[in-house]
Structure 1
Amino acid sequence: MNILLTGGTGLIGSYFIKKYSSQHTFTVTSRAPDKARRQLGGAVTVVKSVDEINNISAFDAVINLQGAGIADKRWSAQRKQTLQNSRWQVTEKLAEMIMAADKKPLFVSGSAIGYYGPRDAEPVNEEGTPKQRDFAVELCQQWEQKALAVSEQTRVVVLRTGVVLSAQGGALAKMILPYKMGLGGPLGNGTQMMSWIHIDDMVRAIEYILHHDTIQGPVNMTAPGPVTNKAFSRTLASVLKRPHIFKVPVVVLKTAMGEMSSMLLEGQAVVPDKLRNHGFEFNYPTIRAALKDVT
């Protein structure tokens, strides 16, 4: 396939290109084209933005993963605006380009399990709706709506992504540091649910979606075994052969991270019903198998 990929230098995008470079032709957007070429290799075409794409009909699929890092900085009013604009604007632009195209490519666009808002341990599939509203809910809902605006013109899939576990960085790199120092333990009371996915299953699922035309709309990109934060932290400590002693108090997280601490202290038990119902099989269905591979 000929694929336009935004966010191609990020954790998921770069892994996808590396794994499937022989199966697809990639055009990637990056504000630092030279750096992107060095990272991704000479076979990838790099442009500064989607504004440089003159004919989106030339692509079989558009994969939109662009967006500022949700956990990179505290959520000030300015940072929230950046998080919104970096997702909403490019998604809206791509939808407009697809709408105007003679031959409309498949549109696969990012989202996150934050769509469901804070929930209890009851499993939630793609039919679930938020029980509470917060910044992440609003961010994801608007993000999805802008992509789904062209769902009557072409197949649209939105990727409700959980915590991606990778040896190359991302959330896991930040989680591991306290354990390596012997200070690992659950966050708060540890009962909050954590929905995760191994990076290899993540990109395999995207590839699966590209080739299965009956998959459309929201898709939960999570492993079938969500766990409590306490179970995750205990398993991580076990895999690393490090202590699991220190509970991180809620007040410490809220003081250090502000509103962003809700991402760690609240959660959802998200299950990938749509992927499983369409025959996708996970290579890393359990948290122990996933953590053993990436640590």
Structure 2
Amino acid sequence: MKIVIAGGSGFVGQALSDFFLKNGDDVVILTRHPKPTSPQLKLTYIEWLNADSHPAPLLEGVHVFINLAGESINSGRWDEKRKQRILQSRLKATNELLHIMENLKEKPQVLINASAIGYYGTSTSETFTEESNSVGSDFLAETVKQWEDLAKKAETIGVRTVLARFGIILAKNEGALPKMALPYRLFAGGKLGKGNQWVSWIHIEDVIQAISFLIQNELYKGPVNFISPNPVTMDEFGKALAKVLNRPHWVPTPEIALKILLGEMSLLMLEGQKVLPKKLLDHDYKFHFPTLDSALKDIFQK
């Protein structure tokens, strides 16, 4: 199988690339800064999103497009310039992928477009599934809505489109977990804000395996929640993290401190949503790490 990953140099993209290469697939990374091709690894880098780049003729015969491209939402305070870069980088990359697919003689079987459970907005009382409507009007919810609306245009050219709504992805050295673990390593960990906000999380291994699962399952289309079936509160998350790191859970961080430090971005920590992976469960996906304890033990103790 030939698989194209836009945003393949990022955290999730690298993990997916390694998985598909070990599986014997051909992997193409779309990047502004291509590296030398590695034919022995069946890995190719193709330049895109530059004025003089023309990737479409090089992408005939692709079976799967995976779009992870866009500026990280965790890269700093959300001032107006950064928010525009976060939104526009996603829209620009998705527009370019649509243009590429439109010009292919043979269309890919599926587009997997990254998204986020931020679509649902925040709540301490509601439980969201793929059947839930968005209740969010914050920056992240509005960004996700625009991003998904654009990606869904791939359906008009006959491409099955999956909107992969990621929760907090857990891995040892990448993503949010190292930042969350640092205070505990320094014996200064504790609950963030009130502690009753929900954390909908997923182990990186389940991200990879679930993407592979839905590529092979043609019943999947539309939104799919990429989170474990067992979300926890922030206080429960902190206690589990403290336990696996053998550290105390005792120094609370007040809401006002995070709001001063992170600005609007603090909603990622202080607000939350309880989200369930209804589609994955309905189609009998078996989670490798369904509980937080099993996920954290695998990450920190193996």
With structure 2 as the length reference, what TM-score do the two structures score? 0.93
CA RMSD of aligned residues (A): 1.7
Q: Residue 188 of structure 1 aligns with which residue?
A: 193
2:56·2:100 contact (CA, 8 Å) conserved in 1? no
| Distance in 2 of aligned mates of 1:52 and 1:200 | 33
Q: Residue 176 of structure 1 aligns with which residue?
A: 181
Q: Residue 31 of structure 2 aligns with which residue?
A: 30
The answer to whether residue 147 in structure 2 is matched with residue 147 in structure 1 is: no
| Distance in 2 of aligned mates of 1:67 and 1:194 | 23
Aligned to 1:18, the other structure's residue is in SS state helix
With structure 1 as the length reference, what TM-score do the two structures score? 0.95
Aligned to 2:65, the other structure's residue is in SS state strand
Matching residue within 118, 124, 132 for 1:120: 124
Q: Residue 19 of structure 1 aligns with which residue?
A: 19
| Distance in 2 of aligned mates of 1:257 and 1:120 | 21
Matching residue within 76, 81, 87 for 2:79: 76
Aligned to 2:155, the other structure's residue is in SS state coil
| Distance in 2 of aligned mates of 1:30 and 1:178 | 35
Instruction: Please report how far the alpha carbon of residue 37 of structure 1 lies from its aligned counterpart in structure 2 after TM superposition.
Output: 6.5
| Distance in 2 of aligned mates of 1:41 and 1:186 | 48
Q: Residue 240 of structure 1 aligns with which residue?
A: 245
| Distance in 1 of aligned mates of 2:178 and 2:69 | 21
Instruction: Please report how far the alpha carbon of residue 41 of structure 1 lies from its aligned counterpart in structure 2 after TM superposition.
Output: 8.4
Matching residue within 235, 252, 262 for 1:230: 235
Q: Residue 58 of structure 1 aligns with which residue?
A: 61
1:11·1:168 contact (CA, 8 Å) conserved in 2? no
Instruction: Please report how far the alpha carbon of residue 23 of structure 1 lies from its aligned counterpart in structure 2 after TM superposition.
Output: 3.0
Instruction: Please report how far the alpha carbon of residue 19 of structure 1 lies from its aligned counterpart in structure 2 after TM superposition.
Output: 1.8
- Aligned-pair identity in percent equals 37
1:121·1:192 contact (CA, 8 Å) conserved in 2? no
| Distance in 1 of aligned mates of 2:271 and 2:83 | 19
The answer to whether residue 296 in structure 2 is matched with residue 291 in structure 1 is: yes
Instruction: Please report how far the alpha carbon of residue 96 of structure 1 lies from its aligned counterpart in structure 2 after TM superposition.
Output: 2.6
Q: Residue 215 of structure 2 aligns with which residue?
A: 210
- Equivalences, count: 293
Q: Which moved more, 1:93-102 or 1:274-283?
A: 93-102
The answer to whether residue 107 in structure 2 is matched with residue 104 in structure 1 is: yes
After superposition, the C-alpha distances for 1:122-181 in whole angstroms (9 at most, x for unaligned) are 321001122231100111011111110121421000100000001231111111110000
| Distance in 2 of aligned mates of 1:41 and 1:118 | 46
Q: Residue 8 of structure 2 aligns with which residue?
A: 8
2:191·2:252 contact (CA, 8 Å) conserved in 1? yes
Q: Residue 47 of structure 1 aligns with which residue?
A: 46
Instruction: Please report how far the alpha carbon of residue 77 of structure 1 lies from its aligned counterpart in structure 2 after TM superposition.
Output: 0.8
Aligned to 1:58, the other structure's residue is in SS state coil
2:47·2:55 contact (CA, 8 Å) conserved in 1? no
Q: Residue 259 of structure 1 aligns with which residue?
A: 264
| Distance in 2 of aligned mates of 1:79 and 1:119 | 25
Instruction: Please report how far the alpha carbon of residue 93 of structure 1 lies from its aligned counterpart in structure 2 after TM superposition.
Output: 1.6
| Distance in 2 of aligned mates of 1:33 and 1:100 | 22
Q: Which moved more, 1:200-209 or 1:146-155?
A: 146-155
1:121·1:193 contact (CA, 8 Å) conserved in 2? no
Distance 1:134 1:37, change over 3 A: farther
Instruction: Please report how far the alpha carbon of residue 241 of structure 1 lies from its aligned counterpart in structure 2 after TM superposition.
Output: 0.6
| Distance in 2 of aligned mates of 1:76 and 1:156 | 32
Matched letter for residue 142 of structure 1: Q
Instruction: Please report how far the alpha carbon of residue 97 of structure 1 lies from its aligned counterpart in structure 2 after TM superposition.
Output: 2.4
| Distance in 1 of aligned mates of 2:220 and 2:107 | 17
Aligned to 1:202, the other structure's residue is in SS state helix
Which consecutive unaligned segments of at least 5 residues does structure 2 have? Answer: none
Q: Residue 163 of structure 1 aligns with which residue?
A: 168
After superposition, the C-alpha distances for 1:236-269 in whole angstroms (9 at most, x for unaligned) are 0011010100110001000000000011111111
